[in-house]
Amino acid sequence: MRLSYPRTFMLVPLLVFSLLLTSFAASRVRADEHNADLAATITVRLHDLGLEFGAVTTWEASLYAGATAGEETDGRFSAWKTVADGMVSFTLPAEISEGSVAPWEAADNTYVRVRAQDTGDVYPTFDLVSNPFTLAPGRYAVDLTLSAAPVNTVVRVRLHDLGAAFGAVGPWEASLYQGAVAGQETGGRFTAWKPAQDGLVSFTLPTEVSAGNSAPWGVANDTYVRVRSSGENSYPSFDLVGRPFTLEAGFNLETHVELRRAVTVPAVPVTLNVDAATANVAVTLADLGLAFGAVSSWEASLYKGAVAGQETSGRFTAWKAPVNGVINFALPSEIMTDTTAPWGEANNTYVRLRATGDGVYPTFDLVSNPFTLNSGNYTATLQLASAARRDTVVQVTMAELGAAFGQIGTWEASLYAGATAGAETGGRFTAWKAAEDGVVTFVLPAEINAGNAAPWGQADNAYVRVRASGTGVYPTFDLVGRPFTLEEGRNVASHVALGRAITSTEQASARLLDVVTPTVTINFTDLGLPFGAVTTWEASLYNGATVGAETSGRFTAWKAVDQGVVQFDLPADATEGTTPWNEPENTYVRVRATGEGVYPTFDLVGMPFTLAANRTYSATMSLSSQAMTYTLVHAILADQGATFGQVGAWEASLYQGAVAGEEMSGRFTAWKPAQNGVVTFALPHEITSGQVAPWDVANGTYVRMRRVAGEGIYPTFDLVGAPFTLTRGPSITTQLNLHRMVRPSESGSQRIYLPIVAR
């Protein structure tokens, strides 16, 4: 059977396709009509610091399409509009420039550009952009905000456990509190709990102040740290507070809680027969000595067995409460029935202390250091100690005034307390630190060794010690700087310098044929202080001058100092080697300390010189040192915007005087480029020669920040921070924040999609 298809059947696909094309065309027309009706309102506001000086007055804004990080694009699609009543408002599409196209619905491709109007000598100047956003129908609020407060304050918390391995504190956490009510844990916590990392918890305020809370800024001794053990079934357990302190904006500080667990053993312990052994163990507990956080009720017992990290079951006495602050265990009478004491077992006895009572605060369950129980009297003391101090920076520099030969190479420094004439004391309270770029910087109290104490407030009782480091280095030295007073919050710069000078004069002769014997006289000038004074030393003359090496070219014997000088008469004293007569810059003096256990020590060389007849030479070696208070000013420019339009390389300088509407000429430092987002000035070291800093002038100092000059850079700015009072000694942080926020000013943007349908 043959099938036949009518011709009308072939027309069906054509009709369907025509309907689809008609539907597409209609949809396109409706879409174009809708685009023509797209409407958006963009309101731009620029907020300055709210101060007369540096106030932003005249500015203008425009709208751009395209956002290429680090450059200013050419996609402007609106005219520039001048600020009126503190804002600029754009209504789209009415204000789209003729011939331009707005980037409707293009993801993050619209931004606002604001700039100071060019009215001559306007100050400050800026040309910045907002964060990019997606332009859709609706209302937008664009805010560019300059703010200078709050300044960050860092509070560091450390928990020092000065005990042994057994019972060492494990994981712990800390938080900050305000208010201090004796005998209870108050409800004034204003930060979250933070776990310790590498023995440290650090809070940055006000950033980490919990929502709905406030920090007690400026309230005397009303802030304290609370530390507690964390983790499941952790031992030992504790919940303690540190010493209250005053929280002040911009002044970083460190507070630490120390747990000291010492056991004093008999001077000459004697192990007797167990049946004849007798011992007395006295236990005391010392707290911070403050009403708040005082330890009220506690008890103790004796244990044997000491397994690191756990509380063992080897108790061999009953629990006892203190009487007049002391618990005494008389052994063997107080050894419990069916238990034994670990007589003579090395480091296998310890004291356990714990708080008692319901709802008591603070709480703790701790152990002493283990000890060996023999006959005799023992004292076990557990002590809670705490301190809170502002950051104090001690900067050590060392310089010499000599030439290449004998230059000081690698060296290190540490800080000491105590100054005993003629001796190197045992009062070191920091680790040794190697010099970096010619400087050693200590931040106290963070870098005070655990268990050591700095001589805070003790007149001229802190000093720096500097010494050569490395193997086989030359020259060698181990010296101290001038003593100074270490005061909390007042930075100190200690400088130790080695001076080397040589002068010569021609000697007159009675007759032309006379040869006058040349002499070389050497003296050594120290700091002129009892401590660190140079006492016994000797000198010799050398030829050959090899940079960085101590050569073998000695041509005189060593001669000891006599009445403060060493003198060589040549050629009579040239008894060894070859004398380098008339060899340019090839003779030098070597001096070194002599004697056993002498301090300070040194082995140094003078400046090379040319040894000639008929001349007298005077070589002077000198040690000098200065210690002075200095101020650190940290300038930070924080940009809270997105990647496009980010501030790039910038620099800062310090100014005095603040006259509204103009950029003063009172700059008293050089411009310094930012490194890692910060510019730091050390004053008075970096005060420009001939200039004066406005010390203690109320709000008489401010920082000026500007984009580093260059071709085609974008964005540009030249702004000032909030004025502040420049005082001697502390570390001051001044911060200028640039916030760039774009948000819908009404709920949501509307997006309309036109479906494609076939009819």
State the CB neighbour count (10 A cutoff) for residue 470: 12
Residue 355 has pLDDT above 60, yes or no: yes
C-alpha pair distances (Å), 713 with each of 96, 131, 649, 650: 27, 18, 10, 11
**Which residue would you say has higher pLDDT here, 416 or 165?**
416
To which H or E segment does residue 7 belong?
helix 7-36
* Contact call for residues 436 and 455 (beta carbons, < 8 A): no
- Token representation of residue 358: 């319901």
Candidate from 247-251, 674-678, 724-728, 744-748 with smallest mean pLDDT: 744-748
Closest to 552 in 3D by CA, of 520, 590, 582: 590
Q: What pLDDT does residue 269 have? A: 57
Those residues with Cβ within 8 angstroms of residue 241's Cβ, 6 or more apart along the chain or in another chain: 177, 185, 224, 225, 226, 227, 257, 292, 293, 362, 386
At residue 21, what are phi and psi to the nearest 5 degrees? -65, -40
Q: Where is pLDDT greater, at 28 or 287?
A: 287
> In this structure, what token pair is assigned to residue 722?
């909030």
Question: How confident is the model over 607-638, as pLDDT tens digits?
Answer: 889 998 878 999 998 888 888 888 999 888 88
- Residue 206 forms beta bridges with which residues? none
Other beta carbons less than 10 A from residue 311's beta carbon:
19
Q: What is the structure's pLDDT at 591?
A: 92
Q: Is the pLDDT of residue 322 over 90?
A: yes
Residue 250, token pair as written in the block: 């911009």
pLDDT band at 643 (very low <50, low <70, confident <90, very high): low
Phi and psi at 50, nearest 5°, equal 75, 20
What pLDDT does residue 17 have? Answer: 45
Which of these, 479, 519, 461, lies nearest to 622 by C-alpha position? Answer: 479
Instruction: Average the pLDDT over each of 119-128, 137-146, 431-440 and give the range with the smallest value.
Output: 119-128
Return the amino acid letter for 244. P
**pLDDT 10s digits, 530-543:** 777 788 899 999 99
Which range (655-659, 673-677, 722-726) has the least confidence? 655-659
Q: What pLDDT band is residue 121 in, cutting at 50, 70 and 90?
A: low
State the Cα–Cα distance between residues 156 and 664, nearest whole angstrom: 38
Least confident range from 27-36, 116-125, 541-550, 575-584: namely 27-36
H/E stretch holding 272 reads none
Of the pLDDT bands very low, low, confident and very high (cuts 50, 70, 90), residue 642 is low
Say yes or no to pLDDT of 27 above 50.
Answer: no
Q: Which amino acid is at 449?
A: N
Residue 11 has pLDDT above 70, yes or no: no
> Residue 569: its pLDDT value, please?
92
pTM for this prediction? 0.74
The residue among 428 and 73 whose pLDDT is bigger is 428
Which residue would you say has higher pLDDT here, 181 or 605?
A: 605
Distance CA(417)–CA(428), nearest Å, equals 6
Cα–Cα dist 331/374, whole Å: 10
* CA gap 626, 654 in Å, rounded: 25
Place of tokens 């002498």: 598
Query: What pLDDT band is residue 201 in, cutting at 50, 70 and 90?
Result: very high
CA atoms of 723 and 701, how far apart (whole Å): 5
Indicate if the pLDDT at residue 639 is higher than 60: yes
pLDDT at 97 over 80: yes
Yes or no: say if 520 and 609 are a contact pair by the CB < 8 Å rule.
Answer: no
**What is the Cα–Cα distance from 13 to 7, expressed in whole angstroms?**
12
Q: 335: Cβ–Cβ under 8 A, 6 or more apart, which residues?
A: 316, 317, 341
The pLDDT of residue 19:
44
Segment 518-533 mean pLDDT:
83
Whole-angstrom distance, CA of residue 582 vs CA of residue 731: 55
The residue type of 556 is: T
Distance of CA 632 to the CA centre of its chain: 11
Provide the pLDDT for residue 515: 52
Yes or no: say if 473 and 377 are a contact pair by the CB < 8 Å rule.
no
Question: Which of 179-188, 346-355, 464-473 is modeled with the greatest confidence?
Answer: 346-355
Grouping H, G, I as helix, E, B as strand and the rest as coil, residue 358 is: coil
Secondary structure (H, E, C), 516-567: CCCEEEEEEECCCCCCCCCCCEEEEEEECCCCCCCCCCECCCCEECECCEEE
pLDDT for position 473: 72
User: Which of 448, 380, 383, 453 lies closest to 240 in space, CA to CA?
Assistant: 383
Closest CA relative to residue 416, chosen from 490, 476, 482: 482
For position 147, what pLDDT does the model report?
A: 77
Of how many residues is the chain composed? 759
Q: Domains in the chain, start-ordered, CATH in brackets?
A: 24-147 (2.60.40), 153-259 (2.60.40), 262-384 (2.60.40), 394-498 (no CATH), 519-627 (2.60.40), 631-738 (2.60.40)
End-to-end Cα distance, the chain: 37
Name the residue among 456, 523, 517 with its Cα closest to residue 484: 456
Q: What percent of the chain has pLDDT over 90?
A: 37
How does residue 149 score in pLDDT terms, banded at 50, 70 and 90? low
Can you tell me whether residue 124 is helix, strand or coil?
coil
CB-based contacts of 37: which residues, under 8 Å, 6+ apart?
none
Structural Rg of the chain based on CA atoms: 39
pLDDT 10s digits, 543-590: 987 776 777 889 999 999 998 899 999 999 999 888 999 999 889 899
d(CA 205, CA 125): 31
Pair 448, 394: CB distance under 8 Å:
no
Rounded average pLDDT over 416-434: 83
Question: Within a 10 A sphere around the Cβ of 504, how many other Cβ atoms?
Answer: 16
Q: Which two tokens stand for residue 236?
A: 């030992």
Mean pLDDT check: name the lowest of 102-106, 190-194, 478-482, 514-518.
514-518
The most distant pair of C-alpha atoms in the chain lies apart, rounded to whole Å, by 153
Averaged over 405-432, what is the pLDDT? 83
Tell me what pLDDT residue 309 has.
72
Residue-wise pLDDT tens digits, 717-733: 888 888 888 888 888 88
Q: Which residue from 237, 248, 221 is spatially nearest to 387, judged by alpha carbons?
A: 221
How high is the pLDDT of residue 693? Answer: 94
Q: State the chain's mean pLDDT as an integer.
A: 82
Listed in sequence order, the DSSP H helices in 277-371 are none
Exposed, middle or buried: residue 753 (CB in 10 Å: 0-12, 13-18, 19+)?
exposed
| pLDDT interval class at 404 (50, 70, 90) | low
**CA angle (419, 425, 431) in 5-degree steps:** 110
Report residue 755's pLDDT band, with 50, 70 and 90 as the boundaries. very low
- Percent residues over pLDDT 70 in the chain: 84
- Residue owning tokens 């209250």: 244
Query: Comparing 48-62, 268-282, 375-389, 627-641, which segment has the lowest mean pLDDT?
Result: 268-282
Which pLDDT score, from 0 to 100, does residue 485 have? Answer: 93
Using the structure block, give the residue that is written with the tokens 């103790």. 300
Residue 41: what pLDDT? Answer: 93
**Residue 413 has what pLDDT?**
94
Per the CB < 8 A criterion, the answer to whether 680 and 632 are in contact is yes
Tell me the pairing of strands 81-82 and 125-129. unpaired
Q: Please report the pLDDT score of residue 277 as a whole number.
A: 81
